[in-house]
């Protein structure tokens, strides 16, 4: 089935009509290689002809897009823009294509798509040898959508210089405003520029139509037509072009293009064959048509001859070289044909014709015209059937956005009364208006129940479950669960039954009925799930279930299926949901490398979509990895940021949970008593709400551990036992082991040997049997004591050795085994001894800012070619060039997107940072790596303190300051400085304003230093060294007359006269070409 968002005939460049009307002047309109051209003129002024003529030699570099009314719907607009701009490119490699699939509410995130399109354009078009044109034709059809006008303005400001925008419209576009109005590389063309002059009118009539007219008649024709091309065409084809009555019987102020065209049209068709005229009128029902429509729908005899006649007669027709070849009437002509059809045929006849055409398009799975024509034929029920059938197919593939835009074709009263339209409207609102989306889904579900469409009913319930999991609030699912006719769905069998089982399984896991969920999981694992989106949902929840019941190895096996699943690969939003099902398992298994990959992906998606939901998971993983590598201060900082991200997202449960974990880990550094009151407030907040996914007992366990650390053993026991019993009843073994470890530590502290033995045994057995090595809500004091106690009791000592070895190394693991008593009585001294033996390692990163930009860390080198666009590397260069400072997002967006509004600039920055993160991560210097190159703190981006970053610019300045502080010039210092200066500061970014000032500053220093060094070398007759310095100097400053004189003198003194003469001629020629005068070489 074709992509229902795309109508590729819109993207075909029209053919220039065989008898196109134009003047030679039109060919020379200023259209070529402009940043933007906006042509505004009413219909019939030859806008398309003007563009096709002006760009005739550039045709292969034109990216055409003919806009219609439905293109005002943003998903349709962006789909076509991406398709035409990147024709021939594998769309799966484009971030803009993936971004479009992953965003549900494009009206809120349109600036993100704009930034992604421009960034991809920079990658594919930058440094191309040919100039390309993105043409937006018939812009008047979408001009009422201000977001598209804003998009065009953004494209003009941010597309690579190899792409120009060309907009054609019948009405004012509202594009040429603000800063764009100051851009001299933008051309505005209006109807006055396109009108035929009197001289051109005379030439047209005489040379093209062989009409000889008197001066008075020519004046009359030109005055009446006002140079309007469509009017001139009609006048030239009617029998009596110059009747004596003024204005053809029309009032002067009513003689508009539309009324004139109507008059000329009626005159023009006089005498035409009636049968042929009827066919023309019936063809008006098609926005565009081919031989097939004429042959199969209108059943025209000799359809090919009809098309040939249309072309030959230049019947206001455009030709598109598609397969099959498509044609399209000019809108003015088509409108008149529609009026004429209503005059000669009854309403019933026309509706029958609409229905016949709709059936043809439905049969060929061309959904948009099928829906439109069924509605026009008053057969809305058939249009709705298309939505239900094809919508189900696309939803099953995880691509519902390809049908959603058709909802807007229906009137509001129809939408509210149809479950399928309500379902897809709910999908459109899912990420922005959660309550409205729920209302749509609920209304759809009730209607589907009445209609007994059990498959779609389960689709609807499935989306309500997705809402519940996303918000961690299951009130939506519980509200409608009673409306599900489970018995009827079961009786219907097949796919609806499978959806019911999957929904039941999801609901069971959501209700924390883990034992039953495990039983259902085993039953359903052998079930074939034909619909991709349901298969993806089942796998994701199954992974969550296995994590909750502690079957980490089983969960790990599912993760690769989730990460490679087509639904997650096609949609970033579904991808995030799948990642949520994966991340906990990897952290609990202490698979740091795999966790880092997920953390990076969460962070990239958070940056790309400005998603605090995704960003918060990245921060949680980062906090856990830091804690697992015993960077407790870093972990605490990340947890605080995680809580802030969850708060912005609107999840008070997760916000409070992150803060409680922060206080628990902070208690390893500061007294726990000082943290209890704040933690109690957070727990009280969680207690007021319904927390799913076992989150309540998880937080309850952390509070128990915090009370234990504070010495409040009575409360600690209450909280820990309550959490343990809840987990025990659910058979959540991994969490049981965590709480058992804390209880063992508690009973050791209060000297309760019997209960110590009980819970120590439980913990040791569970952790060893299931290979648990990390425990959510643990602290290091408790872990060390529990491991040491288990070794003393000979409870799985090898596993205890493994756990300590993972966190502290094999040497300290053996020390714990040999001296377990010390670790039991004083875990803090054990940790202190481990820390004292560790060496702090700092990585050296060398940054070259002079000449060719590069970054080197060990054997790894990142060169300029590795960056997707110049702006991406420019952001990094800006941060590195301002060493010691924090650079805010506001600063970066203002520097790199000065012509965009604040929202668009911030979005563009996010997209660039997304690519920056990806590239740095690829070379092991990512934001989330152990040794990142740069980091983002509260005040902005800065160089990470974990590395020793050496830049040639900083060293150059240090040497210069040392040189200036000395009384006598030091040759070695000057030599080092000239060696460091391998080229101008960021010479690839010479045209960036922020670079140019620094370039001049550093260049001036280099010239000063170079001349001083040359004087020292010449004094001691070190001519060979001086020659080398001078040749480099002339490459950097090719117009320095003094340096030129010195180099010529050195050449002469070393017997290189021919070389001196050749160099002098080249210098004089270069100098005069640049300066306009001859150089002053006094000494020669």
Instruction: Tell me: pLDDT of 254 over 60.
Output: no
The answer to whether 49 touches 16, Cβ cutoff 8 Å, is yes
Instruction: Tell me: pLDDT of 969 over 80.
Output: no
Q: Which of 665, 644, 654, 634 is nearest to 699 (CA)?
A: 654
Question: What's the confidence (pLDDT) of residue 20?
Answer: 64
Q: Which two tokens stand for residue 206?
A: 């005489």
Question: What's the confidence (pLDDT) of residue 246?
Answer: 37
Residues of the chain with pLDDT > 90, as a percent, come to 33
Burial of 789: CB neighbours in 10 Å, binned 0-12, 13-18, 19+: buried
Question: What's the confidence (pLDDT) of residue 269?
Answer: 66
The answer to whether 694 touches 730, Cβ cutoff 8 Å, is yes
- Most confident range (mean pLDDT) of 124-133, 173-182, 279-288, 490-499 is 279-288
Q: 8-194: which CATH architecture?
A: 3-Layer(aba) Sandwich (3.40)
Range with lowest mean pLDDT among 154-158, 211-215, 384-388, 711-715: 211-215
Q: Mean pLDDT over residues 338-367, rounded?
A: 92
Instruction: Tell me: pLDDT of 150 over 80.
Output: yes
Query: Which residue shows structure tokens 């991200």?
Result: 645
Question: What's the confidence (pLDDT) of residue 480?
Answer: 83
Question: What's the confidence (pLDDT) of residue 691?
Answer: 65
Report how far residue 965's alpha carbon sits from residue 973's, in angstroms, rounded to the nearest whole number. 12
**pLDDT tens-place string over residues 779-793:** 999 999 999 999 999
The answer to whether 803 touches 812, Cβ cutoff 8 Å, is no
Report how far residue 123's alpha carbon sits from residue 869's, in angstroms, rounded to the nearest whole number. 6
Which residues lie below 8 Å from residue 999, measured CB to CB, with a gap of 6+? 984, 985, 986, 987, 990
Peptide bond into 1060 cis (omega under 30): no
Band (pLDDT 50/70/90 cuts) for residue 345 is very high
Range with lowest mean pLDDT among 239-253, 302-316, 575-589, 791-805: 239-253
Question: What's the confidence (pLDDT) of residue 781?
Answer: 94
Q: Mean pLDDT over residues 793-821, rounded?
A: 90
**Strand order from edge to edge, sheet including 843-848:** 860-863, 854-857, 843-848, 947-951
Question: What's the confidence (pLDDT) of residue 353?
Answer: 96
Could you tell me if residue 221 is left (phi over 0), alpha (psi between -120 and 50 degrees) or otherwise beta?
alpha
Instruction: Tell me: pLDDT of 992 over 80.
Output: no
Beta bridge partners of 134: 63, 165
Report how far residue 284's alpha carbon sits from residue 310's, in angstroms, rounded to the nearest whole number. 13
pLDDT, averaged across the chain: 85
Report how far residue 696's alpha carbon sits from residue 702's, in angstroms, rounded to the nearest whole number. 10
Q: How far is CA 630 from CA 36, 181, 584, 737, 839, in A?
A: 56, 57, 19, 21, 14
Question: What's the confidence (pLDDT) of residue 274?
Answer: 84
Instruction: Tell me: pLDDT of 775 over 70.
Output: yes
Q: Mean pLDDT over residues 154-158, rounded?
A: 90
Q: Mean pLDDT over residues 374-381, rounded?
A: 94
Question: What's the confidence (pLDDT) of residue 248?
Answer: 36
Band (pLDDT 50/70/90 cuts) for residue 669 is very high
Instruction: Tell me: pLDDT of 437 over 90.
Output: no
**pLDDT tens-place string over residues 289-303:** 999 999 999 999 889
Report how far residue 54's alpha carbon sits from residue 189's, in angstroms, rounded to the nearest whole number. 13
Instruction: Tell me: pLDDT of 4 over 90.
Output: no
Of residues 333 and 768, more confidence is placed in: 768
Q: Which CATH entry fits the domain spanning 839-998: 1.10.10.10, 1.10.1070.20, 3.90.180.10, 2.170.190.11?
A: 1.10.10.10
Of residues 278 and 991, more confidence is placed in: 278
**pLDDT tens-place string over residues 921-960:** 888 888 877 788 888 888 899 988 877 888 999 999 999 9
Q: Which two tokens stand for residue 740?
A: 């058992």
Report how far residue 696's alpha carbon sits from residue 620's, in angstroms, rounded to the nearest whole number. 18
Question: What's the confidence (pLDDT) of residue 242?
Answer: 45
């Amino acid at each position: 089935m074709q992509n229902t968002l795309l109508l590729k005939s819109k993207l075909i460049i029209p053919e220039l009509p065989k008898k196109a009307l134009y003047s030679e002047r039109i060919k020379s309109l200023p259209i070529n290689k402009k940043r933007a051209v906006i042509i505004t003129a009413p219909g019939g002024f030859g806008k398309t002809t003007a563009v096709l003529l002006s760009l005739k030699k550039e045709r292969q570099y034109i990216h055409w897009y003919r806009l219609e009314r439905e293109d005002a719907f943003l998903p349709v607009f962006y789909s076509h823009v991406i398709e035409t701009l990147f024709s021939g490119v594998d769309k799966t490699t484009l971030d803009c294509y993936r971004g479009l699939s992953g965003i549900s509410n494009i009206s809120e995130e349109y600036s993100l798509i704009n930034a992604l399109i421009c960034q991809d354009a920079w990658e594919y078009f930058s440094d191309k040898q040919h100039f390309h044109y993105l043409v937006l034709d018939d812009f008047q059809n979408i001009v009422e959508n201000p977001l598209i006008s804003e998009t065009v303005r953004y494209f003009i400001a941010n597309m690579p210089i190899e792409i120009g925008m060309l907009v054609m419209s019948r009405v004012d576009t509202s594009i040429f405003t603000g800063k764009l109005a100051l851009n001299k590389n933008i051309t505005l063309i209006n109807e006055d520029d396109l009108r035929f002059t009197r001289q051109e009118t005379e030439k047209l009539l005489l040379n093209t139509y062989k009409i000889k007219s008197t001066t008075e008649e020519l004046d009359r024709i030109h005055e009446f037509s006002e140079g309007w091309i469509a009017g001139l065409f009609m006048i030239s084809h009617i029998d009596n072009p110059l009747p004596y009555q003024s204005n053809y019987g029309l009032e002067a102020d009513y003689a508009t293009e539309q009324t004139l065209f109507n008059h000329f049209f009626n005159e023009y068709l006089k005498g035409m064959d009636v049968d042929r005229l009827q066919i023309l009128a019936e063809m008006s029902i098609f926005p565009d048509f081919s031989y097939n429509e004429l042959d199969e729908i209108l059943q025209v005899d000799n359809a090919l001859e009809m098309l040939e006649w249309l072309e030959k007669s230049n019947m206001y027709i455009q030709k598109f070289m598609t397969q099959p070849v498509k044609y399209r009437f000019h809108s003015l002509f088509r409108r008149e044909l529609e009026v004429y059809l209503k005059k000669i045929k009854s309403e019933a006849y026309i509706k029958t014709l609409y229905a016949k055409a709709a059936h043809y398009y439905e049969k060929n799975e061309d959904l948009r015209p099928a829906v439109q024509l069924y509605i026009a034929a008053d057969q809305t029920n058939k249009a709705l059937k298309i939505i239900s059938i094809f919508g189900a197919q696309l939803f099953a593939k995880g691509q519902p956005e390809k049908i959603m835009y058709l909802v807007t074709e229906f009137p509001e009263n129809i939408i509210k009364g149809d479950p399928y339209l309500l379902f897809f409207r709910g999908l459109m609102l899912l990420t922005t208006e959660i309550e409205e989306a729920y209302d749509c889904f609920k209304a759809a579900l009730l209607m589907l129940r009445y209609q007994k469409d059990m498959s779609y009913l389960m689709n609807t319930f499935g989306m309500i479950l997705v809402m519940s999991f996303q918000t961690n609030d299951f009130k939506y699912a519980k509200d409608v669960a009673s409306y599900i006719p489970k018995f009827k769905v079961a009786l219907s069998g097949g796919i609806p039954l499978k959806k019911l089982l999957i929904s039941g399984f999801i609901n069971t896991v959501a209700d924390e009925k883990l034992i039953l969920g495990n039983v259902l999981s085993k039953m359903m694992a052998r079930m074939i799930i034909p619909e991709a989106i349901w298969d993806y949902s089942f796998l994701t929840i199954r992974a969550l279930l296995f994590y909750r019941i502690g079957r980490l190895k089983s969960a790990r096996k599912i993760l690769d299926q989730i990460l490679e699943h087509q639904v997650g690969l096609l949609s970033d939003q579904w991808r995030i949901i799948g990642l949520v099902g994966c991340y906990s398992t990897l952290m609990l298994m202490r698979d740091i490398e795999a966790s880092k990959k997920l953390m990076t992906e969460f962070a990239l998606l958070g940056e790309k979509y400005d998603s605090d939901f995704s960003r918060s998971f990245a921060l949680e993983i980062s906090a856990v990895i830091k804690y697992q590598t015993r960077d407790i201060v870093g972990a605490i900082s990340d947890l605080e940021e995680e809580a802030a991200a969850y708060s912005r997202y609107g999840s008070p449960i997760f916000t409070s949970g992150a803060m409680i974990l922060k206080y628990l880990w902070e208690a390893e550094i500061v007294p726990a008593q000082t943290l209890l009151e704040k933690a109690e407030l957070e727990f009280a907040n969680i207690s007021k709400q319904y927390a799913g996914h076992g989150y309540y007992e998880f937080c309850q366990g952390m509070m128990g551990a915090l009370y234990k650390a504070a010495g409040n053993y009575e409360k600690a026991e209450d909280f820990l036992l309550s959490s343990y019993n809840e987990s025990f009843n659910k058979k959540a073994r991994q969490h049981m082991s965590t709480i058992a470890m804390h209880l063992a530590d508690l009973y050791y502290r209060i000297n309760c040997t019997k209960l110590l033995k009980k819970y120590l045994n439980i913990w040791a057995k569970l952790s060893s049997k299931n290979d648990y090595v990390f425990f959510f809500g643990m602290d290091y004091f408790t872990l060390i004591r529990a491991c040491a106690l288990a070794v003393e009791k000979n409870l799985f000592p090898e596993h205890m050795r493994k756990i300590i070895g993972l966190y502290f190394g094999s040497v300290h693991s053996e020390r714990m085994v040999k001296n377990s008593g010390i670790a039991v009585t004083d875990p803090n001294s054990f940790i202190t001894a481990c820390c004292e033996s560790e060496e702090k390692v700092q990585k050296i990163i060398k940054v070259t800012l002079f000449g060719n930009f590069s970054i080197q860390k060990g054997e790894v080198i990142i060169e300029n070619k590795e960056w997707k666009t110049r702006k991406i590397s420019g952001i990094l260069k800006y941060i590195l060039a301002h060493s010691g400072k924090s650079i805010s997002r506001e600063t970066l967006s203002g520097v790199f997107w000065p012509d965009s509004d604040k929202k668009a600039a911030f979005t563009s920055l996010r997209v660039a940072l997304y690519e920056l993160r990806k590239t740095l991560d690829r070379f092991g210097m990512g934001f989330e790596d152990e040794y990142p190159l740069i980091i983002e703190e509260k005040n902005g981006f800065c160089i990470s303190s974990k590395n020793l970053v050496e830049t040639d610019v900083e060293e150059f300045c240090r040497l210069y300051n040392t040189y200036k502080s000395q009384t006598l010039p030091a040759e070695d210092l000057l030599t080092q400085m000239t060696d460091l200066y391998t080229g101008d500061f960021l010479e690839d970014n010479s045209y960036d304003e922020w670079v140019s000032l620094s370039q001049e500053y550093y260049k001036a220093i280099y010239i000063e230093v170079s001349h001083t060094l040359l004087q020292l070398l010449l004094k001691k007759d070190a001519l060979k060294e001086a020659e080398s310095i001078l040749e480099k100097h002339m490459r950097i400053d090719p117009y320095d007359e003094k340096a030129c004189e010195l180099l010529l003198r050195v050449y002469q003194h070393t017997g290189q006269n021919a070389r001196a003469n050749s160099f002098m001629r080249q210098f004089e020629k270069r100098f005069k070409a640049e300066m306009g005068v001859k150089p002053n070489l006094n000494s020669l």
